[in-house]
Amino acid sequence: QKEVEQNSGPLSVPEGAIASLNCTYSDRGSQSFFWYRQYSGKSPELIMSIYSNGDKEDGRFTAQLNKASQYVSLLIRDSQPSDSATYLCAVIRNSGNTPLVFGKGTRLSVIA
Amino acid sequence: DVKVTQSSRYLVKRTGEKVFLECVQDMDHENMFWYRQDPGLGLRLIYFSYDVKMKEKGDIPEGYSVSREKKERFSLILESASTNQTSMYLCASSPGRGSGGYTFGSGTRLTVV
């Protein structure tokens, strides 16, 4: 089983809709979870972090964490064409002293 | 406003050459990382460093080495470039251990011919 798994997509949503991006991880003791956005031809940039079970909201973005199910998600409300990018889920494993492990990313396309 | 600088955006090298990829950060971060990114394979960790003169192997260190003589600079060395090392190379830094807030450089697209 891969450490961090994401559906590669593409995920296509109409402008104004909610985009839901999902991620599962294998290390049950993982403590910290991150979402990065990567535009085509650009580097990843951090958009959200979450450490506790539940929801964390930041503007149009909501990160959701369920440690029992080993599941992290990112919701993007009122999706805009400018949200079209690849979204990478990343996890710090149990020890907390190790580098991020990245999923392969989900490509999101927001259709105007 | 550039925080992590990679010396070259595009690089073309010949098989067997020794290749140096340079990365400099101006945020006084403790940690620095080298990843490569390939279509379908995602980001894979090559080497990382949590302190000056310290280095640790990542998931795919074979064929690479690193140097960190100063806190702000982390160099990736391809000892003898091969065509399977053609890739996008991304440098990143973060404030301290356990920090998942990485700042990435703009990347170096390396082609080995």
Nearest residue on chain A to B43, alpha-carbon basis: A102
How far is the CA of B61 from the CAs of A74, A82, A104, B26, B65, in angstroms? 32, 36, 19, 26, 7
For range B23-44, the mean pLDDT:
94
A20-43 pLDDT per residue, tens: 999 999 988 888 999 999 999 999
**Residues 52 through 111 of chain A touching chain B, CB cutoff 8 Å:** 88, 90, 92, 96-97, 99-105
Of A33, A43, A88, the CB nearest to B106: A43
The pLDDT score that the predictor gives to residue A2 is: 72
B60-110 pLDDT per residue, tens: 999 999 999 999 999 999 999 999 999 999 999 999 877 889 999 999 999
What is the number of residues in chain A?
112
Q: Percentage of chain B surpassing pLDDT 90?
A: 87
